[in-house]
Amino acid sequence: MFKSQKFFRFKKKSIRVIKIMKKDYKAYLGGSIIMLILISAIFAPLVAPADPYKTNVTKRLEGPSLQNLLGTDSLGRDILSRLIYAARPAVLVSFGGIIISVIIGIILGLLAAYVGGILESIILFIFDVIRAFPPIILILVLLSIIGPSLLSVIVILGVTIMPRYGRVVRAETLSEKEEDFVEAARSLGADNSRIIFKHILPNIFASVLVLSGMDMASMIMWEAGLSFLGLGLQPPLSSWGVMLQESYQYIQTAPLMILWPALAIMLTMLGFSTFAESLRVALNPKLNQEV
């Protein structure tokens, strides 16, 4: 019966959030862009009009045409197909990095707040050490040591922003564990693991969810920037950052070549940012009346 009531409350809250977001144009705009990116990433072989790695030097640097809707690059490859395939690393980096950050941040944040003592001091020291370095310097140094690859970019970006989630979870947990419902659960004999995962974590996850939505846009920007510098994905793999790097030297003769990946990065960041903002308003009782 308790589980049925809990499911009913969760369902009721979910319906309320959906109703609020349905009134917000940001949810439609962001959600549409995110769905477009996800469809492109998942169904790239079916959606792409050509092989993104097939070269044809006789058609290099051509403008948009019926055969190549966005033109061709310096090796005669179809730009539209490369843009579609480049959505794959963008999605992998954004979701992969966020998952690593959220999992590690939640575990360390909960331990720091709920256990306290010397463990909390050690965890906060780790957060401070990571945050003491400028992110760009830390990322570049770690990538130089480990070596550029998709997996290394995901792991390093995830670890770099992890303290954000750890501190948010710690602050929320310190507030939640003093609430009456936690004291009631403890007085009824609930152990620490049940209190954490059944009572505290569900109440703080909304903050983590909103923060992760906003950070996904940053992840995509980081991946593109690192690939542009040659520390992310390596040619001939298709990435928006790699496409920017390859088209930079042709900015005078073929300006459209650099425009398309730049627009893809901008629209993707806009999609995640606007959707996360709409979700933030919907999940916050003090703000959702504005929509």
Per-position DSSP letters for 25-94, written without gaps between them? HHHHHHHHHHHHHHHHHHTHHHH-SS-TT---GGGTT----SSSTT-B-TTS-BHHHHHHHHHHHHHHHH
**Average pLDDT, integer, range 97-104:** 92
Q: Are 103 and 276 in contact (CB under 8 A)?
A: no
Q: Report the mean per-residue pLDDT for the chain.
A: 81
Residue 7 has pLDDT above 70, yes or no: no
pLDDT of residue 185: 65
Residue ranges and CATH numbers for the domains of the chain are 13-283 (1.10.3720.10)
From residue 73, how far is each of 66, 223, 266 by CA, in Å?
16, 21, 20
pLDDT of residue 1: 40
Instruction: Assign 178 a pLDDT band (cuts: 50, 70, 90).
Output: low
Sequence-distant (6+) residues with CB within 8 A of 74 are 60, 61, 246, 247, 250, 254, 257
Measured CA to CA, the distance from residue 55 to residue 40 in angstroms comes to 21
Nearest by Cα to 254 from 46, 1, 79, 7: 79
- 3-state DSSP assignment of residue 50: coil
Residue 272 has pLDDT above 80, yes or no: yes
Residue 285 has pLDDT above 60, yes or no: no
Residue 283 has pLDDT above 90, yes or no: no
Instruction: Assign 99 a pLDDT band (cuts: 50, 70, 90).
Output: very high
Output the six-digit token pair for 204: 């703080």
pLDDT of residue 175: 78
pLDDT of residue 263: 92
Interval 204-216: pLDDT, tens: 777 788 888 888 8
Report the DSSP beta bridge partners of residue 72. 78
Measured CA to CA, the distance from residue 141 to residue 6 in angstroms comes to 47
Q: Which of the residue ranges 1-10, 11-20, 59-68, 85-94 has the most confident prediction, judged by mean pLDDT?
A: 85-94
Residues in the chain: 291
Residue 128 has pLDDT above 80, yes or no: yes
pLDDT of residue 28: 85
pLDDT of residue 11: 57
Q: Are 163 and 132 in contact (CB under 8 A)?
A: no
pLDDT of residue 290: 46
Give the side-chain half-sphere CA count within 13 A for 38. 9
Rounded to the nearest angstrom, the gap between the alpha carbon of residue 201 and the centroid of all alpha carbons in its chain is 21
Q: State the CB neighbour count (10 A cutoff) for residue 255.
A: 10
User: What Rg value do the Cα atoms of the chain yield, rounded?
Assistant: 23
Interval 146-173: pLDDT, tens: 877 888 889 999 999 999 998 988 888 8
Provide the sign of the torsion angle of the four alpha carbons 85, 86, 87, 90, taken in this order: positive
Nearest by Cα to 236 from 90, 81, 82, 91: 82
Record the pTM: 0.82
| Single-letter residue type at 185 | A
- 3-state DSSP assignment of residue 250: coil
Residue 179 has pLDDT above 50, yes or no: yes
Residue 176 has pLDDT above 80, yes or no: no
**Average pLDDT, integer, range 223-252:** 83
**Average pLDDT, integer, range 233-239:** 78
| Single-letter residue type at 171 | A
Residue 277 has pLDDT above 50, yes or no: yes
By the 10 Å C-beta count (0-12 exposed, 13-18 middle, 19+ buried), 170 is classed as buried
